[in-house]
Amino acid sequence: MNKCFILFILFFSCKNRIQEESIQISILNDELYSLCSSNECKIPYRDYYRDDYISISTNRVIFKIENLTDNNLLLYSKNFDGFKIFLPSFNTFSNQLNVSLKNFLIFNSENKVLKPEIIMGEPRSKYIDRQEYIKNEVLKFYNTSDYSDKNDLWKFENNRISNGTLKIYSKQTLYFEALICFPFSSHNELGFETSYILDKDENYYTSLYFKFIKPEGVLRKSQKLEIENNKFDFFEGEIRSVNTVPLKIIKDGSDNNSTEVNGKE
């Protein structure tokens, strides 16, 4: 029993060490900000899109990703809004990382991770029309190619991979900026909102989190050739930033006189 326990601890420690020695993510902001109304830390859905709320709760999050391995890696995550459809891309991989509020873990003073609420509101009609147009463009792109016999799920998944896969070479460090609103996601125009209920008197911290996966059976020939000839590997694993930063509560608009995006210059 004791030997098994020791073996498990060793295995877990080795696994963590492998993760730490492969991909490392760091938030470069000293602190981030979350909005809170003057009475409670829960904003009515109808007020989510008020310009003053969006202005004072939007953070310019700056972070870096380091590839500490000897391998060239591809990072593909589905943490972003899975309902969103991207315009088709002729590129094998767009070399970008999609980041949303879903990629942030929020901790209270007891180091417990908060669970987000999913709120359903009314989708914006213009956005729905736009997404319908993009959907048709994606199908047109694949239906006039060698992949016309693939089902629609394959086509949309491959399109997401083309638009949301990051290439990072061995020992390379890449820097990113993302606009993130706390405690609600203000840019999901389909009507599904990620939101957190925060205690205005509590202390919070946040870290970045990604779950990277290896797509199976949904790659185009050109993508397979790029992986093979440039010796890329899809990285698989869950990665959390090596640091957490304070998430400071703005109790109301008077706590923050600046209308500029919060962030490190």
DSSP 168: E
Kindly state the average pLDDT of the residues 91-107.
Answer: 88
| pLDDT attached to residue 257 | 38
By DSSP bridging, strand 245-250 and strand 173-181 are: unpaired
Residue 2 has pLDDT above 70, yes or no: no
- What average pLDDT score do residues 191-214 get? 85
Inform me whether the pLDDT recorded for 167 exceeds 90. yes
Q: Tell me the mean pLDDT in the region 220-233.
A: 95
Is a pLDDT exceeding 80 seen at residue 124? no
pLDDT of residue 165: 93
User: What is the reported pLDDT for 83?
Assistant: 53
Task: Count CA atoms closer than 13 A to 258's CA, side-chain side.
Answer: 8
Contacting residues for 13 by C-beta, under 8 A, at least 6 apart: none
User: Quick check: pTM over 0.75?
Assistant: yes
Tokens of 242: 């090596």
Q: What is the pLDDT of residues 7-24, one digit of tens each?
A: 444 433 344 444 446 899
Q: Is the pLDDT of residue 76 over 50?
A: yes
* Residue 29 near residue 59, CB atoms below 8 Å: yes
